[in-house]
Amino acid sequence: MRSRLEQSQIHVLPENTHLRRISGQPSLHQSPQARSNRRLALVACTVLASMCLLILVILQAQRADEVLDEATAQTLRDYTGYSSRLMGGEVLRRFADQRVHILAPVSGSARRPVPAPKLEDIVARGDVSFRQLGMASDSAIGYFRVDMQSGALESRGGNGGTLAANAVDSLRAVVAARTQTGEPDLIVLSNHGVSYSVAYAPLVTPDGTVAAVYGFTYTRAKSVAAIAKRVFRETPLLPTSYTGVRWNYDTSRVSPGEVVNDSLLVMRITDRAGTTLWASANGPAAGGEPYNGSTVLSTKAGGMVVESAMRPATERTLIPMVVRRAQRWSLGALLMLTLLLAAVSLIALGGERMSAQARRAEAMQQLALGLRHELNNALASVMLNAEILGEDMPPDSAARERMQAIVEQAERMRVVLRRLEKADRLDSVVPYLNEGYMVDLSTTETRAVPGA
């Protein structure tokens, strides 16, 4: 009897004996729940830190965007003022070039012993210049020569009447009050409520006296409008680097993507009294626009004021490309950071899920080991008592056969329990009635079931 129990290798423990953990076991097998809590806390801290970092980056990006918008707005305001100064300066320069061109025979004769120029030479040069500007229809265009000794007036065109008289009187006073070098100059006269410009150049003799004064007249508003229109059409009034495309000087043919002043700015030129001398086709500059500028040009001809404002849709066009790229990079970086944080969180959660499954598998393994131990103890007791009872029964009796069946079934349970630790739960499942599948422990061979 004892040898048979020893062959079965079943260890029997007293019923009041409790299993306890070995103190030398690693902490991995000591507290699965504690490890799970630590991992969950680590994941939560990682997600929280990532969210805090994301919020900080977003706040910094918003602050940087506000600073960038402020700097861009200040730059656009500066360039709007620059456009008005450039416009006014270019208009005055072209007026000066016009005077120099028409009166060149007079200024070129200053202090030289040469014959005095003829008025017809001045008229011929002036007609060509005014035709090129589109001002030939101005009825106030006229040419004159005043002899400073005799006061004789020789004129051509539309500067007769009171305008000629006022011009001669004013020129006598101006010439007498200034040291003349022979360079062309300009005065502005008002006649019947209309402003006229009088361009003149004194004919200076070799001894320094003024022998005569040559000049021409025109309506100030018409001349300013003609020259300002050409400047507005031909001169880039904003930096071409800010437009990001090629400037088109030929506004009669504008291709897609090309920029002209008319698509960026509205402008107006007034005199010091506020009378409009010229305004762009879009209408006068509106002072309520966020980007506007005004330049006062004080000249001896009475001065003028140039106002400019950017069109509402211009801001996006004028923002430098580097700013656009910086904004795109910032948004792209924020998006990539958000995706990275989301991926880290998903990986962490997936890892925790796999860890939970591993803990459940470990718990099932420990449960199976405990179940084997307890069942082995119970089977040992059953087999021992069955053997003892069987010794007192007749060899061929029915009770002896039943007792032998009990021992055989206990031995079968012992074999099944030994196979439990070798069974592959994925490859040894079989159909169980109509309720699903079960692990087959009746054999050590694995039997895979399709669809299981």
Reported as a single tens digit per residue, the pLDDT across 379-430 is 888 888 888 887 778 877 888 888 888 888 888 888 888 777 665 554 566 7
Instruction: Say if residue 170's pLDDT is above 80.
Output: yes
pLDDT-based confidence at residue 28 (cuts at 50, 70, 90): very low
Q: What percent of the chain has pLDDT over 70?
A: 69
Cα–Cα distance measured from residue 19 to residue 38, given in angstroms and rounded to the nearest whole number: 27
- The pLDDT assigned to 247 comes to 58
User: pTM above 0.85?
Assistant: no
Return d(Cα 419, Cα 446) in angstroms, integer. 12
439 pLDDT higher than 60: yes
DSSP-assigned beta bridge partners for residue 438: 430
Helices 220-234, 119-133: crossing angle, 10 deg rounding: 50
* Mean pLDDT confidence for 17-24: 43
The pLDDT assigned to 99 comes to: 93
Average pLDDT value for residue range 307-311: 87
Q: How far apart are CA 142 and CA 281, in angstroms?
A: 29
Cβ atoms 194, 98 nearer than 8 A: no
Per the prediction, the chain carries an average pLDDT of 76
Res. 257 pLDDT band, cuts 50 70 90: low
pLDDT interval class at 128 (50, 70, 90): very high
pLDDT for position 225: 92
